[in-house]
Amino acid sequence: MIVLDRVTKNYNNKSPALKKISLKINAKEFVVIIGKSGAGKTTLLRLLTREERQTSGKIVVGGIDYDKLKDRNIPMLRRRIGVVFQDFKLLPNKNVYENVAFALEIVGKTNAQIKKTVPRVLEIVGLTGKEKSMPAQLSGGERQRVAIARSIARQPKILIADEPTGNLDPKNAWDIIKVLEKINKYGTTVLLTTHNQEIVNKIKRRVITLKDGQVVGDHAKAEYKHT
């Protein structure tokens, strides 16, 4: 599903953000990526969504060789990859239903398809009954659920969750993790970055540790210990 072969990313003349990283992530895996600020997590995610290009090495995602990916096909790639951020990025003037529907409208889905899809994804994230609520009326956890619903509405093969619990209290944080696990059970590959040691230890998933742009740990069901 995701293959990185000796991938390096340089910015200007500074030390590489990533140094010859090699990884293989299988379809339907749930993988946690950890590391301190500056370790290379964000760069890795930006390479996968093609917001950045690698300096050297090979990236293949879902059979798509990024070396052969034309600019005009990048939007198609991004439809296969859902992304959830720490700060939600909801449209404040649209209600819950409209926020999720908008993600479908911009890729040309019909009204009939939208009416079928939106209630289904809101049910998955536990927001049935909140369709008409505005973002300002929601808790932080609920806003993150809307963001997740929006990101899975187009049925991506991969969901990248970049510090999705960073702004949430422990209960809401754990609720979001359970939503991500539910989505994973439906067959979506999930990549989660987090600083939350308790979450990493509790969910017992594969953990990839980055440090100074390199993979220094890759363990199934590992426990996260500060280094």
Question: Which residues does residue 21 pair with via DSSP β-bridges, in sequence order?
Answer: 7
Q: Please give the tally of structural domains in the chain.
A: 1
- pLDDT of the residue at 221: 61
- Residue 183 falls inside a structural domain: no
Q: Give pLDDT tens digits for 30-79.
A: 999 999 888 999 999 999 999 999 999 999 999 999 999 999 999 889 88
pLDDT at residue 227, rounded to an integer: 43
Structural domain contains residue 134: yes
Q: Encoding tokens for residue 133?
A: 């609520």
Which pLDDT band, with edges at 50, 70 and 90, does 107 fall under? confident
Distance CA 220, CA 98 (A): 39
Q: CA-based angle 183:148:155, to the nearest 5?
A: 55
Q: In this predicted structure, what is the pLDDT of residue 183?
A: 95
C-alpha dihedral sign at 121, 124, 125, 130: positive
Tell me if 170 is assigned to some domain: no
Q: Does residue 191 form part of some domain? A: no
Residue 108 lies in a domain: yes
Instruction: Provide the domain limits for residue 99.
Output: 90-155
- Whether 104 maps to a domain, the answer reads yes
155-193 confidence digits (pLDDT tens) = 999 999 999 998 888 889 999 999 999 999 999 999 999
Q: 217: which strand partners?
A: 209
Residue 222 has pLDDT above 60, yes or no: no
Q: Is residue 132 part of a domain?
A: yes
Confidence band for 151, pLDDT divided at 50, 70 and 90: very high
3-state secondary structure of 56: strand
The mean pLDDT value of the chain amounts to 92
| Tokens (6 digits) for 203 | 């969910």
